[in-house]
A = this chain, B = another copy of it.
Amino acid sequence: MINWKNMTALDSYKKLKTTYPTSLKAALSGEAGAKRVHDYQLPMAGGLSYNYAAKRVDDQILADLCALAKEAQLSEKYQALLNGEIVNTGEKRRVLHQLTRGQQGASVEVDGVDKRAFYLEQLAKIEKFAGDVHSGKIVNEKGEPFTTVVQIGIGGSDLGPRALYLALENWAKAEGCFKMEARFISNVDPDDAVSVLNSIDVARSLFIVVSKSGTTLETLTNEAFVKNALLQKGLKPSCHMLAVTSETSPLAHSSEYLAAFFMDDFIGGRYSSSSAVGGAVLSLAFGPDVFKRFLSGAAEEDKLAACPDPLQNPDMLDALIGVYERNVMGLPTTAILPYSQALSRFPAHLQQLDMESNGKSVNRFGESIDYPTGPIIFGEPGTNGQHSFYQLLHQGTDVVPLQFIGFGENQTGVDVEIQSSTSQKKLCANVVAQIMAFALGKQNDNPNKAFAGERPSSIIYGKRLTPEALGALLAHFENKVMFQGFVWNINSFDQEGVQLGKVLAKKVLAHDTDGALKAYSELFDI
């Protein structure tokens, strides 16, 4: 029997509140420190590991976090989600993004349709379509092959797929499986679409319109932009446009699209990268096999997430340590710092994933809660960030928990040796050095050159950023956010906070305004 209780009602949380964060200077010193680095880590899928030696926890705090996981029934709740229960209580929906990449729970049937079979069917349709494009069976009006694919979408239809494309672009080129250049149009700012359209060969481009409802303002506007551009060049939009949408949307069965691939209401936008939303563009760009490898990494990570023991479950443990930092240590932000240029937009994806899921002030029953929930997420790749905002991270008045990500090898395999080390070695040396600098700090008689230390971080690391590793990475954070939502007793799968702005924007466009709203509108001559 599952109980949904506020975090502050849990005895294990009350116990946790009495603990004092572990001193990293003590914990990471000497041989014991070296041992801790080896011990405080867990295998993830895709050849990755999660190392939490530089988090301010010790065996006792970990035991308390395990008690919290048990009392909050994290494992049972995940199982309920996998079995298709209505976990998204706000919108009264199942939450099935894990099912797009593997069958773990009971089979879920909705309106007579087996959902796993449905997702597999869409995947097969995409595979067939991408194969036909790559083989030259599907071509443009002149019989020329398509060279570019443009995703038109916003939010989850943009950030995840874009981050994943960038994450594998150089890898695919190095591995010889790069098929098509991908570009992305998202913003309603017309300069976004104009800029992308000016930079591609429109005649040899496929455009994927991605909107679950088929009514997203920005996406429909940008679709119109693209259709205009095609018509102006004497091209037929229906030979260039694809749709990724729900079966009930206006885009679903339209002759205006070359093909349509389906998702459904049980895939939230920010969780849609492993559905057709990511599948179509990534399969076209890199081939369906690469996308399947990505899915297999995610599925393997989802399996690890099912382990009830947090000390064997990297997703759950990361979530619990995050709760400790947020609610016991009182830290309101978290930085995502990938030491990998390929992950340059991964922090922007996690920013949506985390902040849109857990930036909530009411519990699952719609009651106000009185403890902080989802943190503010930001980040940039290292070493770039070191020459930017790390000053504040090291010496600012606020402590920011850090999530490093790093790989032993680069993706392209091309490197140069200078001052007896390669660039890749320098990159890795820097991430290691930063972890220690943040944890241990350094005394100095001049306080301006002193570092307080005790600034916690963890690192996810692996040999190389492959499709499997990327799938594991994505699923890890999806599952982490889910577990944190369970602990906080909030609904991580709706987003009512985006509605009011939409309503007011319509009023402004309809000139249905007065007072301050009218005055603001006049600033822009609306």
22 A-B pairs within 8 Å (CB atoms) are namely A34-B518, A188-B383, A188-B426, A190-B414, A224-B416, A356-B390, A356-B391, A359-B391, A361-B447, A362-B448, A367-B447, A372-B397, A374-B392, A390-B497, A395-B496, A395-B497, A429-B505, A429-B521, A430-B501, A432-B521, A434-B505, A459-B523
Instruction: Considering the complex, give the chain B residue whose CB is closest to the CB of A49.
Output: B523
The reply to whether A498 and B386 contact each other, CB–CB distance below 8 Å, is: yes
Question: Contacts of A348 on B, CB cut-off 8 Å?
Answer: 380, 388
Question: Contacts of A382 on B, CB cut-off 8 Å?
Answer: 187
Whether, in the assembled complex, A59 has its beta carbon less than 8 Å from a beta carbon of chain B, the answer is no
Nearest first, the 9 A-B pairs at minimum CB distance are A359-B392, A155-B387, A433-B504, A359-B396, A37-B519, A33-B516, A378-B378, A394-B497, A352-B388
Whether, in the assembled complex, A151 has its beta carbon less than 8 Å from a beta carbon of chain B, the answer is no
- Can you name 18 extra interface pairs (CB under 8 A) apart from A270-B388, A351-B380, A393-B497? A28-B515, A29-B516, A90-B448, A189-B381, A190-B416, A218-B387, A225-B416, A359-B389, A361-B447, A368-B447, A373-B396, A376-B389, A408-B525, A425-B526, A432-B505, A432-B520, A432-B521, A461-B524
The reply to whether A449 and B499 contact each other, CB–CB distance below 8 Å, is: yes
- List the one stretch of A191-199, A237-245, A253-261, A470-478 in contact with chain B: A191-199
Instruction: Considering the complex, give the chain B residue whose CB is closest to the CB of A270.
Output: B388
Whether, in the assembled complex, A366 has its beta carbon less than 8 Å from a beta carbon of chain B, the answer is yes
Whether, in the assembled complex, A107 has its beta carbon less than 8 Å from a beta carbon of chain B, the answer is no
A398 to B: closest C-beta gap in Å? 5
A449 to B: closest C-beta gap in Å? 5
Instruction: Considering the complex, give the chain B residue whose CB is closest to the CB of A157.
Output: B387
Instruction: Considering the complex, give the chain B residue whose CB is closest to the CB of A524.
Output: B428
Give the number of copies in the complex. 2
Given contacts A221-B426, A526-B425, contact A516 B436 (CB under 8 A): yes
The reply to whether A432 and B508 contact each other, CB–CB distance below 8 Å, is: yes
Query: How many angstroms between the C-alpha atoms of A439 and B505 in the bound complex?
Result: 14
- Most chain B C-beta atoms within 10 Å of own C-beta, residue among A368, A378, A420, A494: A378
Whether, in the assembled complex, A156 has its beta carbon less than 8 Å from a beta carbon of chain B, the answer is yes
The reply to whether B414 and A194 contact each other, CB–CB distance below 8 Å, is: yes
The reply to whether B392 and A356 contact each other, CB–CB distance below 8 Å, is: yes
Question: Contacts of A359 on B, CB cut-off 8 Å?
Answer: 389, 391-397
Query: How many angstroms between the C-alpha atoms of A382 and B217 in the bound complex?
Result: 13
Query: How many angstroms between the C-alpha atoms of A119 and B188 in the bound complex?
Result: 40
Instruction: Considering the complex, give the chain B residue whose CB is closest to the CB of A449.
Output: B496
Whether, in the assembled complex, A411 has its beta carbon less than 8 Å from a beta carbon of chain B, the answer is yes
Whether, in the assembled complex, A5 has its beta carbon less than 8 Å from a beta carbon of chain B, the answer is no
Instruction: Considering the complex, give the chain B residue whose CB is closest to the CB of A89.
Output: B448
Query: How many angstroms between the C-alpha atoms of A421 and B437 in the bound complex?
Result: 53
A435 to B: closest C-beta gap in Å? 6
Cβ < 8 Å to B, chain A residues 397-429: 397-398, 400, 406, 408, 410-412, 414-416, 418-429
Query: How many angstroms between the C-alpha atoms of A429 and B221 in the bound complex?
Result: 14
A42 to B: closest C-beta gap in Å? 13
The reply to whether B189 and A396 contact each other, CB–CB distance below 8 Å, is: no
Instruction: Considering the complex, give the chain B residue whose CB is closest to the CB of A504.
Output: B433
Whether, in the assembled complex, A280 has its beta carbon less than 8 Å from a beta carbon of chain B, the answer is no
